[in-house]
Amino acid sequence: MCQDNKPLLRHQGKLLRNECLSDSTNLLTIKAPEPARAARPGQFVQLKTSHYLRRPIGLMSVDREQGLIQLGIRRVGPGSNELCDLEPGIIVDLVGPLGTGFDLGLFDEDACATAPAHLVTVGGGTGLFPLIYLLEEAAGQGITTTAIAGFRSQTEAILQERMRATAKQCIFASDTGGLDFTGHAGEALTSVLDTLSLRPEQILVCTCGPVALLENIALQCLERKIQCQVSLEARMACGIGVCVSCSIPVYRRDSGTKTADNETTYERCCYDGPVFPAARIVWPSQGGIW
């Protein structure tokens, strides 16, 4: 995973656009040149609100040349509501980019990285936001991409045009039908992996969304011996690894199972993550306490 080791910096950005994607989600475009230059897919920024703690928001897209960052925000409470209601022209106080992001590399036993022949992303709901940035970076490196986005219903399926323009293949899934695939995103991944004529070691799967979806994706990849990276969501207070309120259960090694020599521990989602190798996570079905 890629982590930016630069000193923590606080920035002032100017909100250029605030677009309503749905009744519950907004897309903010902010002029913030320094964070844009330093950012990597999977990282996040902490936005200041009037409701005590900053809100961690994943980077959806970055334009380094123009110095722009885009943030997708879902309304879940007073802080996110305040951010979704910001007027263009306002100065936004942000800290970041923070955290460990995605790594567009496949690692062998000697930790040597090679680019994947095929990247598959799986996003559940607003979990697709950080994956768009990853898809854009992969496209720039000439990596073939498939994007899967799962929603509860057709009416909630946002950013379809944006994703179809970014990924070589794009599959929108919903249990209620009306999209490309009827069923949840994990079932769509099964269908995609069954049809790829590649060796497991040529494929990289990256996913973000609810824990139940991430566990489904991770266990599929573990069984198929496909490398998988997961971007986790947790309640964060400081965002820099000090308060440890966002700790998650992990194995000490990337085996996906507990053995006598592979005990479990906890790591900080905000600093060690939010992106982790899927095989390191102790999922709820494996006894992980979340």
Contact 153, 231 (CB under 8 A): no
Distance from C-alpha of 276 to C-alpha of 91, rounded to nearest angstrom: 33
Determine how many CB atoms are found less than 10 A away from the CB of residue 211.
18
Q: Looking at residue 5, what is its pLDDT? A: 47
CA pair distance 158, 174, nearest whole angstrom: 12
User: Average pLDDT in the 92-119 region?
Assistant: 82
* Helices 185-195 + 211-224 axis angle, to 10: 20
Token pair listed for 256:
């996906």
Q: Residue 90 is encoded by which pair of tokens? A: 């306002």
Structural domains of the chain ordered from first start: 2-99 (2.40.30.10), 102-231 (3.40.50.80), 234-290 (no CATH)
Q: Nearest to residue 130, comparing CAs of 88, 69, 183?
A: 69
φ, ψ for residue 205, nearest 5 deg: -110, 130
Side-chain-facing half-sphere of 58: CA atoms under 13 Å: 27
Residue 200 has pLDDT above 60, yes or no: yes
For residue 69, give the nearest of 32, 113, 114 by alpha carbon: 32
Position 217 scores a pLDDT of 97
Residue type, 86: L
Q: Which amino acid is present at 269?
A: C
User: In sequence order, which residues have a C-beta less than 8 Å from that of residue 189 and are 6 or more positions away?
Assistant: 120, 122, 148, 205, 217, 220
Q: What is the pLDDT of residues 38-64, one digit of tens each?
A: 999 999 999 998 887 889 999 999 999
- pLDDT, residue 155, reads 86
Answering whether pTM is above 0.95, one says: no
Among 96-100, 149-153, 236-240, 275-279, the range scoring the smallest mean pLDDT is 236-240
